[in-house]
């Protein structure tokens, strides 16, 4: 008999997020709690951006890693009914520490911060195994599209 906790199944990413290929940047959610979420993505060698982003030594653009964190945070908000839609409106303290190459599986971890007045914050980390890839603090807005934020 195993002492490991039972694995939990989460709704498919496509059933929760409005994003679709080629801009859906998380494959599946592997853990979610009261104030955190963890998702994974394997970057395939045939991804379109590898053809132009350092073709001799392809790497995943950092902005796509941040978008993966944002989609992970949006999944949390949508699945927990915090919002009906979430727009990325802020990125702070983004740091990139290592590259992601074709075939690499990354983990997107987001600790959820404040939720008020249609705003949601989270601190995200990107990892490949034990290797720290990137981190950033994100802000999302769940109000009406086009509204000017102060």
Q: Tokens 């490991």, residue?
A: 4
Reference 115, options 144, 147, 74; nearest CA is 74
d(CA 91, CA 93): 7
Given the residues 19, 48, 53, 123, the one annotated as active site: 53
Residue 53 known to be catalytic = yes
d(CA 72, CA 76): 7
Residues annotated as catalytic are 53
């Amino acid at each position: 008999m195993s002492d490991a906790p039972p694995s939990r199944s989460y709704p498919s990413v496509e059933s929760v997020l409005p994003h679709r290929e080629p801009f859906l940047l998380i494959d599946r959610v592997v853990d979610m709690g009261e104030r955190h979420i963890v998702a994974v993505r394997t970057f395939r060698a045939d991804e379109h951006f590898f053809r132009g982003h350092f073709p001799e030594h392809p790497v995943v653009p950092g902005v796509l890693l941040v978008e993966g964190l944002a989609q992970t945070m949006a999944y949390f908000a949508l699945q927990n009914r915090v919002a009906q839609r979430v727009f990325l409106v802020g990125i702070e303290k983004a740091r990139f520490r290592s590259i992601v190459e074709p075939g690499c599986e990354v983990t997107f971890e987001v600790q959820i911060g404040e939720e008020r007045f249609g705003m949601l914050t989270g601190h995200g980390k990107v990892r490949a195994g034990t290797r720290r890839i990137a981190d950033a603090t994100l802000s999302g807005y769940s109000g009406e599209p086009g509204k000017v934020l102060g």
